């Protein structure tokens, strides 16, 4: 990889087909796809390594990640890419994660009975009473994440298993976190699959195998996620692309609705300009807008400044013990420590440690750039980590032999009350540019998983080649979560890449159609008309037949005359036939109408009950998106 250090005020580089800002999963995937489509590119990365938040760091031979990154997807194209890049170095690993609370470990994903047993009798009673209160008197309008969780679990369980950890991660009260953070994790397609399971049993594939989730195992590179993206960078360079490290963007020149150049600043203070026909950006969308030259209108600048991120610190500790616990990671819900999550990298891959007699733990602190933890010296952070590991009784301080610290800016986009309006303003303004696309988690300020970020890069690259994908649809109308069996169909863009398939999710209209098929409603008018017509015409025909075929002088249908007890004025005669036609028709219509309404009420009640149950089950996995 190249690191130019030219002593010019602003060196101008030759134009390329495409300039890609950021060498994370989205940017490198876009560059790889561009190379397959015959387009050259240059990738500009502010950091000294590739991978973005999916990087892997090394300290004295011990490897550690910026958070754990499970490689899971239901998108065959992404799975094929991972295999293409790493081959046999892409491992299948067992998964175990639990929640640490008050000195006890609870299963994760949460299992209600396990949680109640761990909490004890008194706390369990309070949890159940709190839940019943939420059922009887829920928040009628869910204004924030706290309302969303309490409506499904009650206040007590919210405080135990959701509040502390969530507020550690985001640094703001749950009452200020938008409902979108939860709803983005619980997709419509999940409900469809679950509805099918509930109504028809387990969903099976064409070959008869049950479609299972990736709860119990996941894929992982032998030497961490950074191995994947380091290898990907090597592949794109071998195909003629350039990857520039330590090249933070300081200015994006534009004019006449087109981006003209991206200017980066080198380590020696010099600047370098990269021009191109097309530009893909995975840098934080707010920073992209603030880098625009000429500057956008003040309202757009205010929106860019309104977007917030959560920063991240990993304190990696080397422990002189072969085995500590079986979990890949543990969520720390205990409020008496500041650590939010603990990774056991040896359980992700044995090759993450050079000495099998030792274990590497990653203590993850969710911080804000400039706060006390962010500004603390590394020695203080390592000492804090040693103390908190001992307090949690996961290892003793004496067993910890060494440690190091990694800080990561803008690790998570924050879904606060202001983000949606601010993002809408930025999208409208950036949408005016003909040759600029935003990709990746930070590029779209969207809490995407790794495969989602990659697909934004794939679609953007294909747009450069002439396709017309809406890359903002990824993870909105399309869904690629681990619980799903995603439909796929070839597209013109995929054909250009060797007849590969791209994902096509179920949109809102198709979703409504599937729910309608699963929970069909009766049309009251139609059922009423059917019952009325059948009843009225049937009785008219019976009466008419008796009148016609009864010999003269004999009494017409003495038994039939008993219908007079039910239909006013009825007699076994032509007058009675037409009278019963009218009365039975009207009575049948009313009875059918009432029956349809009653059935529909029961169906609606059952659908609401089932959807609520499925939402609660999905909410038990609400933390899953932080590993992807």
DSSP 387-398: HHHHHTTSS-GG
- The DSSP bridge partners found for residue 12 are 273
Residue 573 has pLDDT above 70, yes or no: yes
* Cβ-based neighbours of 31, under 8 Å, separated by 6 or more: 18, 20, 41, 43, 236, 241, 243, 457, 461
The SS3 assignment for 220 reads strand
DSSP 398-411: GGEEEEEEEEEEEE
Name, of 182-186, 468-472, 489-493, 551-555, the range with top average pLDDT.
468-472
Q: What average pLDDT does range 245-270 have in this prediction?
A: 96
The span from the CA of 514 to the CA of 483, in Å, is 18
Range scoring the smallest mean pLDDT among 102-116, 127-141, 292-306: 102-116
Q: Distances in Å between the alpha carbon of 414 and those of 314, 333, 458, 612?
A: 19, 20, 25, 26
Q: Which helix (H) or strand (E) holds 280?
A: strand 271-281
Strands of the 359-367 sheet, one edge to the other:
104-108, 97-101, 329-332, 341-344, 359-367, 309-319, 400-413
The span from the CA of 554 to the CA of 547, in Å, is 10
The SS3 assignment for 498 reads coil
- The DSSP bridge partners found for residue 563 are none
Tokens at 156, concatenated: 């007590």
Residue-level pLDDT at 109? 74
Determine the length of the chain. 628
Residue-level pLDDT at 341? 95
Name, of 145-159, 292-306, 471-485, 609-623, the range with top average pLDDT.
292-306
Q: Distances in Å between the alpha carbon of 195 and those of 48, 74, 109, 205?
A: 47, 19, 20, 16
Averaged confidence pLDDT in the chain: 83
Q: Which residue has the tokens 């006890």?
A: 104
Nearest to 85 by CA among 155, 42, 36, 153: 36
CB of 364 within 8 A of CB of 399? no
Burial 394-423 (b: 16+ CB within 10 A, else e): bbeeebbeebbbbbbebbbbbbbeebeebb
Residue-level pLDDT at 628? 53
Tokens at 342, concatenated: 């603990």
Residue 523 has pLDDT above 70, yes or no: yes
309-413 matches 10-57+219-305+418-502 in CATH topology: no
Q: Which helix (H) or strand (E) holds 503?
A: strand 502-503
Residue 211 has pLDDT above 50, yes or no: no
What's the predicted TM-score (pTM) here? 0.74
Q: What is the pLDDT of residues 20-71, one digit of tens each?
A: 999 999 999 999 999 999 999 999 999 999 999 999 999 999 999 998 888 9
Nearest to 3 by CA among 30, 23, 18, 28: 23
- CA neighbours within 13 Å on the CB side: how many for 265? 7
Can you give the residue ranges of every domain in the chain?
10-57+219-305+418-502, 309-413, 524-613
The span from the CA of 282 to the CA of 471, in Å, is 12
Q: Distances in Å between the alpha carbon of 278 and those of 254, 286, 428, 438, 605?
A: 12, 20, 19, 12, 52
Residue 1 has pLDDT above 80, yes or no: no
The SS3 assignment for 82 reads helix
CB of 192 within 8 A of CB of 511? yes
Tokens at 376, concatenated: 């603390």
- CA neighbours within 13 Å on the CB side: how many for 391? 15
The span from the CA of 309 to the CA of 52, in Å, is 15
Nearest to 271 by CA among 254, 290, 250: 250
Q: What is the dihedral of CA 300, 301, 303, 304, to 10 degrees?
A: 120
- CA neighbours within 13 Å on the CB side: how many for 264? 25
CB of 458 within 8 A of CB of 465? no
Share of the chain above pLDDT 90, in %: 52
How confident is residue 517, by pLDDT bands cut at 50, 70 and 90? Answer: low
Question: Residue 159 has what DSSP assignment?
Answer: I
Q: What is the dihedral of CA 141, 145, 146, 152, to 10 degrees?
A: 70
Tokens at 265, concatenated: 């600043």
* Cβ-based neighbours of 132, under 8 Å, separated by 6 or more: 154
Please report which residue ranges of 447-573 form alpha helices under DSSP H: 450-464, 492-496, 508-518, 524-549
Residue-level pLDDT at 277? 95
Q: What is the pLDDT of residues 319-358, one digit of tens each?
A: 999 999 999 999 999 889 999 999 999 999 999 999 999 9
Backbone angles phi, psi at 221, to 5 degrees: -65, 150
Residue 549 has pLDDT above 90, yes or no: no
The SS3 assignment for 359 reads strand
What is the third-level CATH fold of 309-413?
A: Polyamine Oxidase; Chain A, domain 2 (3.90.660)
The span from the CA of 272 to the CA of 51, in Å, is 22
Strand 104-108 relative to strand 56-59, pairing: unpaired
Backbone angles phi, psi at 492, to 5 degrees: -60, -40
The span from the CA of 420 to the CA of 303, in Å, is 10
Tokens at 77, concatenated: 């194209």
Cis check for the bond before 266: say yes or no (omega within 30 of 0): no
Residue 483 has pLDDT above 70, yes or no: no
Residue-level pLDDT at 475? 61
Residue 393 has pLDDT above 60, yes or no: yes
Q: Distances in Å between the alpha carbon of 236 and those of 49, 222, 544?
A: 15, 21, 87
Nearest to 581 by CA among 593, 595, 563, 594: 563
Query: Is the pLDDT higher at 574 or at 197?
Result: 574
**CATH match for 10-57+219-305+418-502 among 3.50.50.60, 2.40.50.140, 2.170.120.12, 3.40.960.10:** 3.50.50.60
Share of the chain above pLDDT 70, in %: 81
Backbone angles phi, psi at 403, to 5 degrees: -170, 165
Query: Is the pLDDT higher at 182 or at 6?
Result: 182
- CA neighbours within 13 Å on the CB side: how many for 121? 0
Under the phi-then-psi rule, with left for phi > 0, alpha for psi from -120 to 50, and beta for the rest, what region is 360?
Answer: beta
How confident is residue 482, by pLDDT bands cut at 50, 70 and 90? Answer: very low
CB of 397 within 8 A of CB of 387? yes
Residue-level pLDDT at 408? 95
Q: How many helices (DSSP H) and strands (DSSP E) are in the chain?
A: 22, 21
Q: What average pLDDT does range 150-157 have in this prediction?
A: 89
């Amino acid at each position: 990889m190249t690191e130019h250090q030219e002593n010019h005020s602003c060196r101008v580089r030759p134009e390329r087909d495409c300039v890609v800002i950021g060498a994370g999963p989205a940017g490198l995937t876009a560059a790889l796809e561009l190379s397959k489509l015959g387009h050259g590119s240059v990738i500009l990365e502010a950091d000294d390594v590739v991978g973005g938040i999916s990087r892997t760091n090394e300290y004295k031979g011990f490897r550690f990640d910026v958070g754990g990154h499970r490689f899971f997807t239901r998108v065959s194209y992404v799975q094929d890419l991972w295999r293409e890049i790493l081959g046999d170095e892409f491992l299948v690993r067992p998964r175990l994660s639990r929640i640490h609370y008050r000195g006890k470990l609870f299963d994760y994903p949460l299992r209600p009975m396990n949680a109640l047993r761990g909490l004890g009798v008194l706390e369990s009673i309070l949890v159940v009473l709190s839940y019943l209160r939420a059922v009887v008197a829920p928040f009628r309008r869910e204004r924030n994440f706290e309302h969303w969780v309490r409506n499904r679990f009650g206040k007590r369980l919210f405080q135990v298993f959701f509040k502390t950890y969530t507020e550690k991660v985001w640094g703001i009260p749950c009452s200020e976190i938008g409902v979108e953070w939860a709803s983005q994790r619980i997709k419509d397609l999940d409900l469809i699959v679950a509805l099918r399971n509930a109504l028809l049993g387990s969903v099976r594939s064409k070959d008869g195998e049950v479609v299972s989730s990736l709860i119990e195992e996941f894929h992982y590179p032998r030497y961490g996620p950074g191995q994947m993206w380091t290898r990907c960078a090597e592949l794109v360079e071998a195909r003629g692309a350039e990857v520039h490290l330590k090249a933070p963007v300081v200015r994006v020149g534009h004019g006449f609705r087109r981006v003209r150049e991206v200017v980066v600043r080198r380590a020696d203070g010099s600047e370098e300009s990269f021009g191109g026909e097309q530009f893909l950006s995975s840098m934080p969308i707010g920073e992209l807008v603030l880098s625009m030259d000429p500057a956008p209108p003040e309202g757009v600048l205010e929106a860019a400044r309104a977007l917030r991120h959560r920063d991240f610190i990993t304190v990696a500790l080397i422990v002189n013990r072969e085995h500590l616990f079986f979990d890949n990671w543990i969520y720390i819900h205990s409020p008496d420590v500041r650590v939010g999550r603990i990774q056991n990298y040896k359980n992700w891959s044995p090759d993450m440690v050079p000495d099998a007699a030792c274990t590497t733990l990653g203590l993850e602190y969710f911080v804000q750039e400039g706060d006390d933890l962010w500004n603390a010296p590394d020695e203080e952070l390592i000492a804090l980590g040693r103390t908190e590991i001992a307090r949690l009784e996961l290892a003793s301080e004496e067993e910890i032999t060494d440690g190091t610290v990694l800080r990561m800016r803008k690790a998570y986009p924050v879904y606060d009350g202001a983000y949606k309006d601010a993002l809408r303003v930025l999208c409208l303004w950036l949408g005016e540019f003909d040759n600029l696309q935003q990709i990746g988690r930070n590029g779209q300020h969207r809490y995407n998983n790794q495969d989602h970020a990659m697909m934004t890069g794939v679609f953007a690259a294909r747009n450069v080649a002439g396709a017309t994908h809406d890359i903002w649809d990824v993870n909105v109308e399309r869904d690629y979560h681990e619980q799903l069996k995603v439909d796929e169909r070839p597209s013109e863009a995929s054909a250009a890449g060797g007849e590969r398939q791209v994902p096509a999710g179920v949109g809102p209209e198709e979703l409504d159609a599937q729910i309608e098929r699963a929970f069909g409603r009766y049309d009251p008018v139609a059922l009423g008309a059917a019952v009325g017509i059948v009843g009225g015409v049937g009785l008219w025909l019976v009466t008419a037949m008796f009148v016609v075929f009864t010999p003269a002088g004999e009494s017409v249908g003495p038994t039939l005359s008993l219908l007079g007890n039910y239909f006013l004025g009825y007699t076994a005669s032509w007058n009675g036939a037409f009278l019963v036609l009218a009365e039975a028709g009207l009575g049948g219509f009313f009875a059918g109408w009432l029956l349809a309404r009653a059935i529909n009420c029961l169906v609606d009640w059952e659908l609401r009950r089932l959807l609520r149950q499925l939402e609660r089950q999905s909410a038990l996995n609400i933390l899953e998106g932080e590993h992807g």
